[in-house]
Amino acid sequence: MEFLAQLGIKEKNFGASTGTQWLATTDQGEIKVVSPVDGKQIASVYLASEQDYELLVATGVEAFKKWRMVPAPKRGEIVRQIGLELRKHKDALGTLVSYEMGKSLQEGKGEVQEMIDICDFAVGQSRQLYGYTMVSERERHRMYDQYHPLGVVGTISAFNFPVAVWSWNAMIATICGDTNLWKPSSKVPLCAIAVQNILAPVIRANDLPEGLFNMVIGRGASVGEMLLNDKRIPLVSITASTEVGRHGAAVIAKRFGKSILELGGNNAIILTPNADFAMALPAIVFGAVGTAGQRCTSTRRLIIHESIYDKVKQSIVKAYGGLKVGNPLEEKNHVGPLIDRGAVGDFEKALVRAAAEGGSVVFGGQVLEGDGYESGCYVMPAIVEVENSYEVVQEETFAPILYLIKYAGELANAIELHNDVVQGLSSAIFTRDMLEAEEFLSAEGSDCGIANVNIGTSGAEIGGAFGGEKETGGGRESGSDAWKCYMRRQTNTINYGKTLPLAQGIKFEI
């Protein structure tokens, strides 16, 4: 395939890189990367060793000593050049994302565009690493705070966004003066290798230190645990399930490290009687079936007022009936495959559990077979009528299942249902009533990190801080002031007088 050659993907690939140098370990096992699109092997990747990991971290630590002293706008210039390289390879990398992960080609290219966008954002941010000046209670004193680079930043990314999540972390960390160590999902390692190959010309052209952008593909039980426990890595960003994040956060906290956690979502849209349903329908359907329901922001629950429930259900079932499920590289198709057959099994189990608890499947739920579905990873997205209290509804199933939930009475009742889950990532309401919109956004409204009005739950612009509350982890990445997570804060006081007054009026004489 031409896009593989353009991205430097070989039949067999190494699993550890310091930026331009690949570590040639071959004795730790080999991942055979199979596409969920057609079940064919794309390539293979040799796993990195613990010795490789040690070399990468040591290289990152040494690179940090140089990189932290480079002026931030010059660091931004490097990120600008990375953005230009990504533009050159957008089609090829987007195609690889689609083929290796299974999301639609539009979404694959959109993910690379997201990388480009965060590069542009970070370039501007490199000239805006602001602190504040505070007034001092002591005469002839000046107080201010400033931000310094942290060190080596670790990024553990998930399969569903194989390149964008890394860029949110790495591009911001880079302009902040940090170096990077990336551990991508072993389900989509080729995307990470491709990104390393895209970075290499920028590193060489600017004579950048090896270790500015490290990448390691290795076993979680060895390399992954080393990363979590490593005191040389002051910050680890983890995008994963709640279970993985809970373990990672505990290990990192034990060594007093910092963590950014982007974990599970159980996102809902509220439809009030005042909703513009024609506007809401495409947001609901894309939110539920985009990326085959494998986004942390996927719409999983639809909370509908009883007065419009039957009409809404009928319209959504009709819309689902027009969905085309198939090869995501063909742009006529709306829904591609799940990442693997294990995910298909989770999809089937969730539907069985929903039925056992009293739920009713009103559309879909089949595993698709026959021509074009040979990988065994394709399913027909499901719509299920449920109660919010069902155990299966309280959990996040990473699959295209949309739960329909009815509410009666005031909006407060819908908000109570909405907030009655342990996750708190993304949320939305569709209404033309200003009072309802404001109530949803108020302190008694959505308890999620992202709350939208007349916009779906899925997808977010890079200019806003991305993340959620409760068991979603509380982390923030990407835009707004998320850059502060990648730096250490320091308060400074300067005495430019000739005496030494103490704070709080304390007198101390010797």
- Output the six-digit token pair for 391: 């155990």
- What span, in angstroms and rounded, lies between the C-alpha atoms of 310 and 314? 6
DSSP line for 94-116: HHHHHHHH---HHHHHHHHHHHH
Cβ–Cβ < 8 Å for 335, 324: yes
**CA nearest neighbour of 218 among 181, 184, 259:** 184
**CA nearest neighbour of 31 among 18, 15, 17:** 15
262 carries an active-site annotation: yes
Q: Kindly report the CA angle at 487 between 482 and 492, in degrees rounded to 5?
A: 115
- What span, in angstroms and rounded, lies between the C-alpha atoms of 293 and 381? 8
Q: Give whole-number Cα distances, 230 to 238, 247, 469, in Å.
A: 15, 15, 26
- Choose the catalytic residue: 119, 176, 191, 296: 296
Q: Which amino acid does the sequence have at 33? A: V
- What span, in angstroms and rounded, lies between the C-alpha atoms of 215 and 185? 11
Q: How many CA atoms lie within 13 A of 335 on its CB side?
A: 29
377 carries an active-site annotation: no
- Choose the catalytic residue: 111, 210, 262, 471: 262
Cβ–Cβ < 8 Å for 123, 86: no
3-state helix, strand, coil in the chain (%, to 5): 40, 20, 40
Q: Which amino acid does the sequence have at 99? A: Y
Length reported for the chain: 510
Q: 289 Cβ partners below 8 Å, 6+ apart? A: 320, 323, 334, 335, 381, 400
What is the C-alpha R_g of the chain? 24
DSSP line for 364-432: --PBP-STT-TTS--B--EEEE--TTSHHHHS--SSSEEEEEEE-SSHHHHHHHHH-SSEESEEEEE-S
Residue 157 burial (CB < 10 Å; 0-12/13-18/19+)?
buried
Strand pairing report for 213-216 and 235-239:
unpaired
The set of catalytic residues is 262, 296
